[in-house]
Amino acid sequence: MNDLIGLVDWSRAQFALTAMYHWLFVPLTIGLSVIVAIMETIYVRTGNPRWKGITKFWMTLFGINFACGVATGLILEFEFGTNWSNYSWFVGDIFGAPLAIEGLLAFFMEATFVAVMFFGWNKVSRGFHLASTWLTALGVSLSALWILVANAWMQYPTGMEFDPAQMRNVMTDFFAVALSPVAINKFFHAVFSAWTLAGVFVIGVSSWLLWRRRNIAAAKSSMTIGSIVGLAGILLTLWTGHGSAVQVARVQPMKLAAMEGLYHGSVGQDLVGFGILKPESSRTAEEPMLFSVDIPYGLSYLIYGNGDNFVPGINDLIDGISINAAGDTIHGLSYADKILIGKQAQDALRRYADARNAGDEAAMAAAAADVKEHFPYFGYGYLPSPEAAVPNVSMTFYAFRIMVIAGGYLLALFVVLIFLCRRKPEVLEHPWLCWVGMLSIVIVWVCSQAGWVLAEVGRQPWVIQDLMPTTAAISGVPAGSVKLTFWIFAAVFTGLLIAEISIMLRYIATASKGDIETPKH
C-alpha cells in the first residue's frame, strides 16, 4: 500500500509540475496573439509604419513564448500514456477525440499561419498577412478549446456509457462532450483570463521601457492597447468566473465546499471574503476558521441569486445532503452508501468477466445490467473511506482567495492605467508607477496559477469525477522511476523557463536600444 501511495503521489506531482510549467506559457500565447493581431490591424487600417514596428516587437516576444509552450505541451500529453495508462484505457475513446482534433486541426492551423505571420512580411499582401495573424490567434484559441473540452469532461463526464465488453467507456454523443456547459464556460474563462495576463505582460514590459526612458511613445501606445485588452479580459473573466462557480455548485459541490472551507452548510450561507483556516479543521462541530471576514448571504446569492437557498458543506455532502440541478435541497445517498454501490458495480463487472470466460450469456446479461445500474458511483468503490473524497481544503481555500484578491487588484490597475493613458499620459513615466507595472507581471502569473490549482486540486481525489480516482488511474511502473523523471523534468522545465526569460530580456534590451517603431524590413 505504501508503494501504491508513493506511486500515486509522485505521478500526481510530476503531472502537476508539467501542467503548471505549461500553464506559464499557454495564457501568454493566447492573449499576446490577440494583442499582436489588434496592433497589426491598426497598422493596416492607418497605414502608419510605426505600428508595423510595434507589432513586430511584440510578435517576436510571442514567438519566443510560443515555442516554449509547445515543448511543455507535448510532454504533458505523453504523460497520459506513461503515468496514467489505466485512465487512458478507461476513457481513451472519449478523451482522445478532443486531443486528436486539437492536434490535427488547431495545431496544424497554428503551425501553418504562424509561418506566414513571421516570414510573410513583404512577401504577401498586407491583408493576407493580417488574416494570417488573426488566424494564428484563432488557432491558438481553438487549441485551448479542445484541451479544455477534454479537461472539462474529466470534471463533468457526459456523452458516454460504459461498455463492459470492452471494460472501458465509449462515446455516445460527441456534441454532449464538446458543448457541455462546463466545457464552454471553462474555455471562455481560460481565454479571457489569458487576455488579462497578456495585457499585464504588455503593461509590464512597457513600464520597463518607460523606466529606462526608451521608446517612450511606443511604450505608451502599447500600454494603451494592453490596458484595454486587459480590462476587457478581467471583466469577462469575472463574468465567466461566476458562471464557473454556478457550474461547480451543480456538478462538483465538494469543490465548492472546499473553496469556502465550509464544513456545515446553512440557508443564507455567508461568503468568506478573507479568512484563515484552522489547521486541524475536520469533520467536527467546531468553527473551522481562526479568523474570517464574511459577506452575509454572499455564497447563496453567488450560486442561486437568492439569499434564502441552502448551500451544503463538506459534512453535509458526506452525509448525503446536497442540491439538485434546480437548486433544491435533497437528502440522497451518503458517501458511505456510494462506496457500497461502487463496490457492487465493480463486483458486477468481475461477474461479467467470469461469465464471458465461461460463455454464459444469461449471466453476462444479468451482470451487465447490474453494472449499468450501479455505474454512476463506480469510482467510489476504490475509496477507503468517505473522508477520502474530500480534497485538500486548505490549498483549495487559499488558491481561490489568492485568485480573487489578485483579480481585484488587476481590475483596479487596468482602470487606472486606461484613465492615465487617455488623460494624463505624462504620469505613466513616474518611476513608482513603472515599478507597479513591472511587479504586476508577477501578480498576474500568481493569479493564473492559483486558478489552475483551484480547478485541479479542488476535484481530487478524482481523475474523472465520481468514476475514477487517482489510485485507479496510474500506470504500473516503479515509483522510483516516476520520482527520477520528476526531478529530470523539474530541471529541464526550469532550464527552459530560465532560457525563455533570458531570451526575452535580451531581446527587449537589445531592440529597445534602437527605434522599435521603425521596422528594419
* pLDDT tens figures, 331-346: 889 999 999 999 999 9
Looking at the chain, the number of H-run helices and the number of E-run strands are 17, 10
Mean pLDDT of the region 283-310? 80
Give one DSSP letter per residue of 357-374, joined into a string: HHT-HHHHHHHHHHHHHH
Percent of the chain's residues with pLDDT above 70: 96
* 120-129 mean pLDDT: 89
- Nearest CA to 293 out of 138, 156, 401, 426 is that of 401
323: left (phi over 0), alpha (psi -120 to 50) or beta: beta
Name the strand (E) or helix (H) holding 28: helix 2-46
- For residues 178 and 476, the answer to whether their CB atoms sit within 8 Å is no
Residue 521, pLDDT score: 57
Residue 282, pLDDT > 60, answer no
CA distance 201 to 440: 8
pTM (2 decimals)?
A: 0.92
Average pLDDT of the segment spanning 131-143: 91
Q: Are 128 and 341 in contact (CB under 8 A)?
A: no
Q: Is the pLDDT of residue 157 over 80?
A: yes
Strands (E), 13-72: none
Residue 205 pLDDT exceeds 90 = yes
What is the mean pLDDT of the segment spanning 491-501?
A: 90
Which pLDDT value is given to residue 8? Answer: 86
pLDDT bucket at 1, cuts 50 / 70 / 90: very low
What contacts 456, CB < 8 A, 6 or more positions away?
A: 16, 19
Neighbours of 509 (CB within 10 A): 12
Question: What pLDDT score does 108 carry?
Answer: 76
The yes-or-no verdict on residue 89 having pLDDT over 90 is no
pLDDT at 286 over 80: no
Could you tell me what percent of the chain has a pLDDT over 90? 47
pLDDT of residue 235: 96
E-state strands within 229-351: 266-267, 271-277, 289-295, 310-311, 321-323, 329-331
